[in-house]
Amino acid sequence: MTFEKRADASPAGNILVPLFSVVLALLTGAVFLWLSGHDPARAYMTMFKGAFGSGYGISETIVKSIPLMLCALGVAIAFKMKLWNIGAEGQLVMGAVGATWVALNFPDYPALVLIPAMFIMGTLCGGIWGMLPAIPRAYLGVNEIITTLMLNYVAILWMEYLVYGPWRDPQGFNFPLTAAFADAARLPTFGDSRVHAGLLIAVVLAVIIYYGMKHTRWGYEVKVIGESETAARYAGMSISKNIILVMMVSGAIAGIAGMAEVSGLMHRLQDSISVGYGYTAIIIAWLSHLHPGAIIAVSILFGGLEAGGYSLQTTGIPAAIVSMLQGLILFFVLGGQILTRYRIVFNSKKVGGN
Amino acid sequence: METTTIITICTAAITAGTPLLFAALGEIFTERSGIINLGVEGMMLVGAVTGFMVAFLTANPWLGVMAAMFAGGLLALIHAALTVTLRANQVVTGLALTIFGTGLSGYLGKAYIGQPLVSSFKSVKIAFLSDIPIVGPIFFNHDPLVYLSFILVPLAWYYIYRTRMGLNLRAVGENPGSADSLGVSVSFTRYLYTVVGGMLAGVGGAYLSLAYAPSWMENMTAGRGWIAVALVIFAAWNPLYAMLGAYMFGGIDALGFRMQLMDVQVSAYFLSMLPYLCTILVLIIATRRSQTGGVGAPRALGVYYDREER
């Protein structure tokens, strides 16, 4: 059995293979659940109902998908340039910290001032957190996978220091959370659901990124550098400058996710801001082939997985099953990708034609 | 500082560095064969949880270590199958392994959170050697797994640099094309050392749950798997330097902890940041050094080997 390179990846394969991979991953997860003494059918039904079975479920799914969309859009931009930004989690946390600082210090300003200020501060903090590892990467070639990841732990500890220390709400019964934000510091929600304006921000950003990548000079440069650094250098593009810029933009978008979480959903900073959305975003970006439209769709699917996993806890199955399933999905997608890039030939002699 | 304080910190540095050392040794073998496995964190977590579970159920920590080795190797086998046979991107597969391992360990370990372990690894004084002043108490008053790592490091060094098998391993990582033409199976070599790497990462994880802090907690590795990956770069893929680096990081870890006990006026959260910040700093220094002469990464690291495109 050998693999022969396909001349071009088939568009149908690009959609069918991931879809089939997700199904296989869920089946493998079912076998695992069954082996560990749970009823897989009941578990999946509970998850599905929890995620899509009711108006409330659907709104929870969308609420969970908002930070995923934003983080995935952020890491996708970096991935486009073959920069492995694994630090979206920390960038999200720093964005939330920045936005919270504004909300706690200027509670008396009107929403028209406060919300944009929080947005800018969240973007800035996330952007700086993304830029920090980009500088040694651009000028010294220091592996950004490890540095972005290490900064996640630093950001989370910094946030914990704030909510357990100087920012802790004196009226919070000793819980690690800040005081609730003033109404003016809260993003509007749709009707009386918990779905907030962060959804709009994510969709608008997806459109801007799609357009920017396709039709601007900068988008073109990012694409060329991602495909071949040597070619880009010959064309006179500044690689170091673009590395720093791209990582800054990537981090800034994750920072917006953090701002949206505190301003639209939690209305305060608390340590549950970090639940691993930054890592899930990596899977989503990869599954979506870095396409902004696909990211929005896949994020909703993964938001459903998160919301469904939450409702699973009542049945005694640990919610950790969700990240296990996410890992399995990625395994099958990665393994399945060979089918889109190669055709399998079952005899040792080469088949002519093509 | 008094001598006793120095001895205490150095002893603690070795204990805290040992899980890093096992994981880094494993990753050195893997990367020497040209495969980068970023799933160390996930393999350590699964090693920690299976080690704990088996030791809990059998009351035998050694069986726990064996189980952790097996589990780590099994996870690494997934990585090898995906990257060597199915040509998947090594970076993304490793990340998937970490996400999967985090979930799997959380799932398996749920029932064991906060359970006490009847029999964990305890320090054993080595006769005569532990009586040597300063060196004795620092190096020869540890649990058996630490002694195992003392033996493993020179063995690994000898294996990689002085044996035929080690030569083949290095050849596959440096130049798989010529290794192949000399009759060394690139695929087999990469499968083998990826699995060996996973087994050692599993032992590193088990060290945490069976010796360092005998218990199971979700995400108890706290990024140590990633520090181990950085350590490999710092060590220039050499087991002896890995030992040095692991104890240095163990020392930073231990120092932060000591300072909390000594009531230093710095928040515990900032002290906990030290290992992560030092990892970044050390990585920058190591990268600079490898560029100005020195030894770099195996040349075929992270590159899929295609026989037909040789």
Model ipTM? 0.89
B273 contact residues in A (CB cutoff 8 A): 153-154, 157-158
**Chain A closest CA to B149's CA: distance in Å?**
25
Q: What are the mean pLDDT values of chain A's consecutive 10-residue runs (354 residues total)?
A: 67 78 92 90 91 92 96 95 94 98 94 95 97 94 92 96 91 87 93 92 96 90 87 86 95 97 96 91 91 95 91 84 91 86 64 44
Share of chain A above pLDDT 70, in %: 94
- According to the model, what pLDDT value does residue A178 have? 94
Query: Which residue in A312, A333, A273, A236 sits closest to A95, CA to CA?
Result: A273
B107 contact residues in A (CB cutoff 8 A): 36, 318, 320-321, 324
Contact A282 B229 (CB under 8 A): no
* Residue B270 contacts A, CB cutoff 8 Å: yes
Identify the residue among A140, A324, A329 best suited for mutation to test binding to B, counting B beta carbons within 10 A and taking the highest. Answer: A324
Q: Is A345 helix (H, G, I), strand (E, B) or coil?
A: strand
Query: Which residue in A87, A125, A338, A134 sits closest to B89, CA to CA?
Result: A338
Residue of chain A whose Cα is closest to the Cα of B232? A146
Contact B279 A150 (CB under 8 A): yes
pLDDT tens profile A155-185: 999 999 999 989 998 887 888 899 999 999 9
- According to the model, what pLDDT value does residue A353 have? 43
**Chain A closest CA to B285's CA: distance in Å?**
9
The structure's pTM equals 0.92
Q: Residue B171 and residue B183: Cα distance in Å, rounded?
A: 11
State the DSSP code for B142.
Answer: E
* Residue B63 contacts A, CB cutoff 8 Å: no
Restricting to B residues 83-112, those with a Cβ less than 8 Å away from any Cβ of A are 86-89, 91-93, 95-108, 110
Q: Residue A349 and residue B82: Cα distance in Å, rounded?
A: 25
* Residue B260 contacts A, CB cutoff 8 Å: no
Radius of gyration of chain A (CA): 22
pLDDT tens profile A268-322: 999 999 888 999 999 899 889 899 999 999 999 999 999 998 888 888 888 889 9
Structure token pair of residue A263: 């301003």
Contact A140 B291 (CB under 8 A): yes
* Residue B291 contacts A, CB cutoff 8 Å: yes
* Residue B307 contacts A, CB cutoff 8 Å: no
Q: Is A174 helix (H, G, I), strand (E, B) or coil?
A: coil
Structure token pair of residue B144: 């058996």
- According to the model, what pLDDT value does residue A352 have? 47
B283 contact residues in A (CB cutoff 8 A): 136, 142-143, 146-147
pLDDT tens by residue, chain B, 310 residues: 578 888 888 999 999 999 999 999 999 999 999 999 999 999 999 999 999 999 999 999 999 999 999 999 999 999 999 999 998 989 999 999 999 999 999 999 988 998 888 788 888 888 888 888 888 888 888 889 999 999 999 999 999 999 999 999 999 999 998 898 888 999 999 999 999 999 999 999 999 999 998 999 999 999 999 999 999 998 999 999 999 999 999 998 888 777 777 777 778 888 889 999 999 999 998 888 877 665 678 888 888 887 766 5
- According to the model, what pLDDT value does residue A354 have? 41
